[in-house]
Amino acid sequence: MADRSLGPMWHLPGLERAGEPGEAAGVDTSEASAGEWHVTRTATGSVVQAPRLSDRQARAVAAFVRSAALEARSVRTHADVLRAISGAAKRLADPSDAVGREAERLLSSGLGWSREAARESLAGMSREWADDALSALVEAEIGDPALLDRFIPDPTRGGRRRMAVGPPLVFQIHAGNVPGVPVTGAMLALLARSGVLAKTGTDEPGLLPLFARALGEADPLLASCLAATWWPGEDLPPAFERWGKEAGKAIVYGGEAAVRAARQHIPPEVEVIVYGPKVGVSVFLPDAPDAAAGLLARDVCAYEQRGCVSPRIAFVIGADPVDLADLIAVGMEKEAGRVRPPPLSETEAVALRSARAECEFAGLEDGSTRVSGPVDLTWTILAHRDAGVESEALPRAVWVYGIPSIEALATLLGPFEGRIQSIGYAGHEREEDLAQLAARLGVSRICALGDMAWPPPDWRHEGRHRLLPLLTWTDWEPAS
Amino acid sequence: MSATPLGADFSNRLAALRVELVEQFRAWRGEKWSDARFDELARRTFALQFEASVPYRKYCVSRGAEPGRIRDWRDIPPVPTAAFRRVDFRTSQGADELVFLTSGTTRGLQARGRHVVPFPELYRASLREPFCQFVLGGRQVEPVLLSLVPPFATTGDSSLGWMLDDLIQAFGAPGSKSVAGENGIDWQALEAACRSAEEEEIPVCLMGTTVALSGWTNRLEQERMLFSLPSGSVLMDTGGVKGDSGLDRDEMLGRLLPVLSLETGQVVNEFGMTELLSQLYGRGTDNPPLNGPPWLRTRVLDPVSLEPRPDGSEGILCHFDLANVGSVIGVLTDDLGRIENEGLMWLGRSPGAPPRGCSLATAELLAVQDNG
């Protein structure tokens, strides 16, 4: 494998005074030694590296970010923040901008994604990062954005004034999510006027530091409100404990291990907000049009199926799943031509082959299953006439099951209550019943197939507000 | 699959092959077999399995492989281990038929595979001589065999349990036994047997999983117990070289061997799979290269294309085992390894589908829910 580095995977304001980032990682040389780096390789062999901060250094960064965040509250308005962060984020998705090209490079080197896949994902994320989308989100959640700047009259109670602001520091722990999620998380915290201490995931550690650098070119003070670095998910370096202590709130995205570590090592008085592991599913109602199969393929391939918004299972009511698999296959082939799939790791290849074998043999005697997909394993459809819920987190792979009714679906999905992020569906027959089932299962979004991977900005991720949980409200009832 | 009436010719050919293989396995004393000899037997095995098993035949036909149309045994389609979770491969119904179950993995909801063994005499013949050669060093010693694995009758589904029962019967000096049962391992019985072998100066052969031996190591250290096992004693551990439950075999052996007064040359690692009736062995610590009888051949394949990889390169392991006449000869594993001059380097089980972002396998989602 090529020994190539992804570049600096950190943005650590406050340490820069001790030296340029990259020169001993900006780490105080009196503390730097051979063990002062976190290093790993991504699945594609790219080297990921970031300085291992001592407790003192982590504390210094936290103090610097905290003071910058407090200063920004008095010298920047919500409008300033919105303009600066959406402007910086926009550059990530602009292929004509050096920042955009660097973002593409990070995704293609780090994840092995094709240029088209990288570009499409960045374009998808950037819709969420646009100023009008962010404004819509703020308005949907808190009404008047001026609340974030100052006390404003509360229309629900005469004489009262209200203001809402996040804690001076928010600690965000990312564990290999969809690329760009750390950027979105940081933007929301900056909108809450909080300083951000972020730990990025191994698969995609670079976009957030890149965003911070772009932000620094537009507004150095706001860039100082954001520290981002990487360490291996299984590690608990001093920075983890220190940032957990210093933060007013902690947000954990993704992996079970990260959630467990956060619950164990972050002090109980710090509120931990968890976005845990979820699965996406899709449903073909009896009157679903044939074209829906292509839309499913689109959703499956979005973000290379890394997100919990991408469907992993398709349930088919009133049609033959094996026949449907042929239609989906056409769509998967088309997607493979449009956006080249990344190379598979050995582990993924072994697991895909195993999953294919199990499905193939399950139907060899009675023809009740069908395996579709090219021999190079780049996409896979495992269709079963019988009902089932088995699936695995494998690239461009979808499990298709025939089910008799929505009631049968309710039984099958019962054990997954609270674990399904979104349901994509096609057709209209009994769609109201399906929506009711989604609500009962705690599904945060049910939408048309083809739209699953691109939720609107004001979507309530995991069924919750996204900005609101960061804020603390102050009611001012003026003295008479 | 169900047994189909395949006619007298089929039955005669199957019976002849079984008899021939059992004789050849029994007569083996460590010599190599030519590729032609293996190929001839493998083709006959494949032809019978192709005829007998409808799912296997369909699988082969869909890959363009049929008896008479293959160039050599390397063209015989191997069956991925996952298929054993869905299909019973069986060339015939045997009166003494055994069914072994895999221990199960985290993958999938129907996790345990089944290996149907219609002809236990083939298993018996395939395991005895290699054990004798690789573990007992020919017939130089007749040790007391002590197994830390419950006898087959305890669960009725363990291929390892069956194998160790048979070895005790075939090679064990008086006093040989399993010291494990439904309630786990009887450590005191094990230690008493070792003490008595020590006093009577009869060598012992200790046989157990790496995990069980690790438990014993902890106990012996805690109890400050020391043994001076007679010369000729052997420790055979199975599994757990790498990747299993985070156990470090070398570290464990580094602590256990001095306690038992054994040298590194007195340790043999055994590699077996429920889906195979033959085993591989490696002598020494530190992930020793594995070797087995000439009727078991292993290929290293590219995980994506399944094309063979050159010796010295890593890939997934595919075994062809003539002892599997009753089921299916070729087994494609999820194990990674490479072939070197000294033997096969087993590098562990591929860890299964890694989590992708926040997206998990449904079985793992349920596990998360149970834990949370």
Instruction: Note the pLDDT tens digit of each residue in B231-275.
Output: 999 999 997 554 445 568 889 999 999 999 999 999 999 999 999
Report DSSP letters for B220-242, one per residue.
HHHHT----PPTT-EEEEES-SS
Coil, strand or helix at A420: strand
Prediction ipTM score: 0.85
Does residue A372 sit at the B interface (CB-CB below 8 Å)?
no
A222 touches A76 (CB < 8 A): yes
Q: Please indicate whether, in this complex, the C-beta atoms of A254 and B303 are within 8 angstroms of each other.
A: no
CB-CB: which of A254, A362, A415 is closest to B357? A254
Any idea of the CA torsion for A428, A434, A439, A441, to the nearest 10 degrees? -150
B320 vs B305: CA distance, rounded Å: 19
Q: Is B320 left (phi over 0), alpha (psi -120 to 50) or beta?
A: beta
CB-CB: which of A256, A307, A361 is closest to B55? A361
Residue B42 has a pLDDT of 98
Q: Please check the confidence at residue A342 and state whether its pLDDT lies above 90.
A: no
- A266 — pLDDT class (breaks 50, 70, 90): very high
Mean pLDDT of A309-337: 95
Q: Which chain B residues are Cβ-neighbours of A419 within 8 angstroms?
A: 365, 368-369
Residue B269 has a pLDDT of 94
Range with the lowest mean pLDDT among A163-177, A269-283, A360-374, A453-467?
A453-467
Q: Give the bridge partners for A169, in sequence order.
A: A195
Residue B240 has a pLDDT of 56
Range with the lowest mean pLDDT among A26-30, A230-234, B312-316?
A26-30
Instruction: Tell me the average pLDDT of chain A.
Output: 90
Q: Please check the confidence at residue A1 and state whether its pLDDT lies above 50.
A: no
Mean pLDDT of A90-94: 96
Coil, strand or helix at A305: helix
Q: What separation in angstroms does the CA of A41 have from each of A1, A53, A231, B132, B360?
A: 10, 20, 12, 45, 22
Please write the tens of the pLDDT for every residue from A114-158: 888 899 889 988 999 999 999 999 999 999 999 999 999 998 888
Q: Which chain B residues are Cβ-neighbours of A125 within 8 angstroms?
A: none
Maximum average pLDDT range among A281-290, A385-394, B363-372: A281-290
Structure tokens at B75: 């063209």
Coil, strand or helix at A212: helix
For residue A409, give every residue at least 6 positions away whose Cβ sits within 8 Å of its Cβ, in sequence order, or none. A283, A315, A317, A403, A434, A437
Residue B372 has a pLDDT of 35
Structure tokens at B200: 């009577």
Residue B306 has a pLDDT of 92
Q: Any idea what the Cα angle at residue B145 is, between residues B141 and B149, rounded to 5°? A: 150
Please write the tens of the pLDDT for every residue from A52-68: 999 999 999 999 999 99
Question: What is the residue-level pLDDT of chain B in tens, covering all 372 positions?
Answer: 444 568 899 999 999 999 999 999 999 999 999 999 999 999 999 999 999 999 999 999 999 999 999 999 999 999 999 899 989 999 998 788 999 998 765 444 456 889 999 999 999 999 999 999 999 998 777 899 999 999 999 989 999 999 999 999 999 999 999 999 998 999 999 999 999 999 999 999 999 998 899 999 999 999 999 999 999 999 999 975 544 455 688 899 999 999 999 999 999 999 999 999 999 999 999 889 999 999 999 999 999 899 999 999 999 999 999 999 999 999 999 999 999 999 999 988 877 655 555 556 667 666 654 443
B92 touches B240 (CB < 8 A): no
Question: Is the pLDDT higher at A183 or at A41?
Answer: A183
Coil, strand or helix at B115: strand
Q: Please indicate whether, in this complex, the C-beta atoms of A277 and B358 are within 8 angstroms of each other.
A: yes
CB-CB: which of B85, B108, B362 is closest to A279? B362
Mean pLDDT of A255-270: 84
A267 touches A251 (CB < 8 A): no
Residue A16 has a pLDDT of 59
A355 touches A348 (CB < 8 A): no
Residue A232 has a pLDDT of 86
Does residue B64 sit at the A interface (CB-CB below 8 Å)?
no
Q: Please indicate whether, in this complex, the C-beta atoms of B59 and A361 are within 8 angstroms of each other.
A: yes
Query: Which segments of B172-309 does DSSP mark as H helices, in order?
Result: 187-200, 210-223, 249-260
For residue A45, give every residue at least 6 positions away whose Cβ sits within 8 Å of its Cβ, in sequence order, or none. A1, A2, A3, A4
Residue A34 has a pLDDT of 41
Residue B311 has a pLDDT of 93
Q: Please check the confidence at residue A25 and state whether its pLDDT lies above 70.
A: no
The number of beta carbons lying within 10 Å of the beta carbon of residue A108 is: 19
Query: Of the candidates A461, A380, A465, which has an alpha carbon nearest to the alpha carbon of residue A422?
Result: A461
Mean pLDDT of A423-427: 97
Q: Please check the confidence at residue A101 and state whether its pLDDT lies above 80.
A: yes
Does residue A461 sit at the B interface (CB-CB below 8 Å)?
no
B132 vs B147: CA distance, rounded Å: 16
Q: Please check the confidence at residue A450 and state whether its pLDDT lies above 80.
A: yes
Does residue B246 sit at the A interface (CB-CB below 8 Å)?
no
CB-CB: which of B86, B350, B364 is closest to A346? B350
